[in-house]
Amino acid sequence: MAITQISTLPQQFKQDLQQDYGQQLAGLTSIPLDTSQYAPSVAAQDPLQTQAATLAGSGVGAYQPYLTQAATYGTQAGTTMGGVSPYISAAGALTGTGAGTGAGSISSYMSPYQSQVIDATLSEFDRQAAMRQQNISDQAVAMGGYGGGREGVMQSEYQTQSDRNRALLQGQMLQQGYGIGQQARQQDLMNQLTLGGAQAGLAQGQLGLGQYQQGLSKLVPALAGSDISTLTGIGGIQQQQSQAVLDAQAQANQMAAMEPYQRMGIYGSGVAQLGQLPGQVQTTVAPDPTALQTALGTMSVLGGIMNPYAQNRYTQAAGDRTIGQA
């Protein structure tokens, strides 16, 4: 048969718990909180981010030298191209027949010593012709026909042939000189055209170099920008990781700082609930409880009420109260 047993909670027991709670709370709140341990903090800039910023700063205007060089090549190309015109003009002056005696004429390319050469050659021809005529006269004297009709015929025939040969020799030399002048004129024409083409090619090459420099002025910043973007991205990830570590540490510090206050909150809640309980607690126990069972029943009631962090423990059994320091 179950036995109902009534345990009495003394008023002093409640007052002692309330006093203990008040003392501990006063002691805890008298100590200022060190909020620096969990105050928000910002992770420092990652070295890769610093490197990216440095690279970006040093790359400002890095394209300018290439543009300056491109402009220089452009100016040089214009000057070089201007040098083509004289060659083209000179070549144009050599495209005619080359008649006359002015600049660009065939005669202007003939040897200035041609007349002296022809005159000397003809003088030698005349000397040899005179010697041949003298031979004819000498032969006529030897044959006793000097001054006769036969000698006159021989002299006349020789003179006619000699004059013909002399004119042919002179014509050949003139033709040879003209041909040499004509070839020289044609070669000069080709030279002028070649030089003009080379000058134009040089100008084109300078323009090409200018375009290459312009390309570099775009390529260099683009490559630098790619490096900056990569460094910034990786550095940002590492900075985020550092920030996460700082936030986690601050949160852990805050939890550690708040832990005593949380315990006091639990303790205070228990004390408040205890104050609302009636002076007597009814407990049902098995038949014929022993004195120990009765004491344990009372303690179980108190264990559910008292804060586990309280410094005083109270045991009530059979109307007797014992107070001991924890």
249-258 pLDDT tens trace: 999 999 998 8
Strand pairing partners for 6?
282
Task: Spell 171-189 as b/e; 16+ CB within 10 A means b.
Answer: eebeeebbeebeeebeebb
Please say whether the beta carbons of 176 and 117 come within 8 A: no
Q: List C-alpha distances in Å: 80 to 40, 174, 207, 245, 306.
A: 68, 42, 10, 66, 105
Q: Choose among 307, 213, 320, 205: nearest CA to 266.
A: 307
Angle between helices 291-305 and 149-275 (to 10 degrees): 130
Lowest mean pLDDT among 70-74, 127-131, 276-280, 317-321: 317-321
Query: What pLDDT, on the 0 to 100 scale, is given for residue 313?
Result: 37
Distance separating alpha carbons of residues 316 and 214, to the nearest angstrom: 98
Please say whether the beta carbons of 192 and 87 come within 8 A: yes
Query: What pLDDT, on the 0 to 100 scale, is given for residue 268?
Result: 86
Q: Which residue has the higher pLDDT, 325 or 109?
A: 109
Q: pLDDT over 70 for what percent of the chain?
A: 78
To the nearest whole number, what is the mean pLDDT of the chain?
79
Q: List C-alpha distances in Å: 306 to 55, 172, 267.
A: 66, 146, 8
pLDDT band at 128 (very low <50, low <70, confident <90, very high): very high
pLDDT by residue (tens digit) across 211-264? Answer: 999 999 999 889 999 999 999 999 999 999 999 999 999 999 999 988 888 988
| Cα distance between the two ends of the chain | 37
DSSP 301: H
Reply yes or no on whether the pLDDT at 274 is more than 90: no
Query: What pLDDT, on the 0 to 100 scale, is given for residue 240?
Result: 93
pLDDT band at 323 (very low <50, low <70, confident <90, very high): very low
pLDDT by residue (tens digit) across 42-65? Answer: 899 999 999 999 988 888 888 899
Distance separating alpha carbons of residues 130 and 99, to the nearest angstrom: 37
Query: What pLDDT, on the 0 to 100 scale, is given for residue 9?
Result: 64
Mean pLDDT value of segment 156-163: 89
